[in-house]
Structure 1
């Protein structure tokens, strides 16, 4: 398997490569397999280290305690980290251990199989579940950033540091704000546009419903957080500050904003498909991959 060959997209109406292989190949010829392994490993490592730094800031500087696990921005960051760790692992295993299934079953090959991309199974619909996971991991960073910059900052509910004073309070505070509410969205963009060959989400209705379900599931988690910590994650969830009808409107607006962010990444994916399809040559790229 050539390490410099990208996985090029096929016609959407024809049989397609499994999603678990598409996550292991960049759509761009210039990003070979070894380069992709390096980039994915770098992204996963950065997210891991920065996630630890963010949690430490929440506990030590913001004194959030248990409230840390109820903040949407932290959950979104963790899901993004989890996805990138899985994607990096799949890419490494696909490049260096692609034929473990044809070898005798030993502890080593079983471990290789466990960490390798699974086979796409129509009976379990693992393609759809993984696609929803991929979508959430790359949509939530945009939603988190939008809520911070367009809702929390203008209403002066951002953090203990006012939104217009992100700079000037030390590098740690600047890193905390920019990493959570800017860099994570940039990493999601890079994943969608440069690193992954995953196509536009299908079926669209399943992804819209899946994201909406996760949004309202989080709303429930946020209210559990209020019971535990006696603090609301967002001011617009507090019926003591706003009327109940506005609280309910806030739930709907949160889900709607997430769906808008989904359509943004859907459009980014479509643009990437268009650009890579224009550059496709039959003599380049994988036209056939193991199913």
Structure 2
């Protein structure tokens, strides 16, 4: 692929990437699709700068969130600083940060160092080789594994926002700030003073928290900023990533993505249960059997948590499909679109039937060239 093609959007179309002469080259893998925006207004340099800004924001925010969890919430019930690593919000944020670190490195090297000499053992080129996208091999399972990581990171980010605003906050477990004078610092108010009206953070698991309106009007800015960033901005970043910053197609095979997504959510519930034993803190109130009253209710919530994954995946799948249609119209593609291919039989997206057909077609052309006879 030419240097010009590497710096232009990857046009959508199941046949592959259209070239200026109208022919198609092999469809680029997901490693390169995260390095290209599908929109013409987002060139490669703008994409790299945007990814750098998002990564810097998430990195700074990570330190602020740790400070918020340790210093502003230390007076809550069952407090333990180790509970942070068991919280779903922490894990979803960590996956989102890791994803943006990886794709920034790939986008940066893909634009500025597209031909890194991996045999050069000088430290600069060794670092650039590690930052470069993986080798593009058709049989590699890395495509499926990164597609699965892409799916889990974004589904977790959406679920984190949805669960907080639709389940935790309405049930009084959102530790929202509440207005009023500083009568007792229940959950870490403004340690620096600054007026009579400060926010009192409701204890985790206590239904005496403030209202949603208070988060925009009451108390110091720091707790409000952390809450809105962790349970709001992270979802917006995930949405912006899917719709603007990459050309990743709808994930296939669908069944494999759903299976491993549900497995990851089930694995988190096991991790959360371990955390509740070690720290005495339940990441979700519905995991506490004493508070819920019956084991059946806890089981129902747990099943709903796992099943929410495929529902959010379907929403994400539809958004990607909508973006594909919009970018096809943007670039004015009029190429006939083939019928969707059946899902590959294995998880890596490798289709033996297509390989066999290509080999037969190539052999037929070689025989025709040797014999000098065209098709009958």
For normalisation by structure 1, the TM-score amounts to 0.91
State the Cα distance separating 1:279 from its structure 2 match. 2.0
Corresponding residue of 1:95: 111
Partner SS for 2:47: helix
Per-residue deviation, residues 19-75 of structure 1 (Å, max 9, x unmatched): 100010000011000000000111111111111111110011112411111110111
State the Cα distance separating 1:157 from its structure 2 match. 1.2
Give the Cα–Cα distance (whole angstroms) in 2 for the partners of residues 110 and 174 of structure 1: 42
Q: Does 2:54 correspond to 1:43?
A: yes
Structure 1 residues 192-201 or 62-71, which shifts more? 62-71
Corresponding residue of 1:153: 169
State the Cα distance separating 1:145 from its structure 2 match. 0.7
Corresponding residue of 2:250: 200
Corresponding residue of 1:289: none
Give the Cα–Cα distance (whole angstroms) in 2 for the partners of residues 169 and 69 of structure 1: 27
Return the index of the structure with the highest Cα Rg: 2
Corresponding residue of 1:7: 10
Give the Cα–Cα distance (whole angstroms) in 1 for the partners of residues 15 and 319 of structure 2: 16
- The answer to whether the 8 A contact 2:7-2:111 is kept is no
Q: Summarize the alignment of residues 157-236 of structure 1 with structure 2, pairs less than 5 Å apart.
A: 157-159=173-175, 160-161=201-202, 162=209, 163-164=211-212, 165-167=214-216, 168-236=218-286
Structure 1 residues 78-87 or 15-24, which shifts more? 15-24
Give the Cα–Cα distance (whole angstroms) in 2 for the partners of residues 4 and 112 of structure 1: 19
User: Which 4+ residue blocks in structure 1 deviate beyond 3 angstroms?
Assistant: 12-15, 120-124
Corresponding residue of 1:106: 121
Runs of 5+ unmatched residues, structure 1: 283-291
Per-residue deviation, residues 206-257 of structure 1 (Å, max 9, x unmatched): 1111110110111011011111111111111111122111111111111122
CA separation of 1:100/1:176 partners in 2, compared to 1, >3 Å: closer, same or farther? same
Q: Does 2:101 correspond to 1:85?
A: yes
- The answer to whether the 8 A contact 1:57-1:176 is kept is yes
Which structure exhibits the higher relative contact order, with contacts defined as CA atoms closer than 8 Å and separated by 6 or more residues?
A: 1
The structure with the largest helix share of the pair is 1
State the Cα distance separating 1:12 from its structure 2 match. 6.0
Q: CA RMSD, aligned part only?
A: 1.8
Structure 1 residues 123-132 or 191-200, which shifts more? 123-132
- The answer to whether the 8 A contact 1:4-1:30 is kept is no
Q: Does 2:303 correspond to 1:252?
A: yes
Give the Cα–Cα distance (whole angstroms) in 2 for the partners of residues 237 and 44 of structure 1: 33
Per-residue deviation, residues 261-290 of structure 1 (Å, max 9, x unmatched): 2211111111100000112257xxxxxxxx
Q: Give the number of equivalent residue pairs.
A: 281
Give the Cα–Cα distance (whole angstroms) in 2 for the partners of residues 114 and 76 of structure 1: 25
Runs of 5+ unmatched residues, structure 2: 17-23, 176-200, 203-208, 334-376
- The answer to whether the 8 A contact 1:100-1:113 is kept is yes
For normalisation by structure 2, the TM-score amounts to 0.71
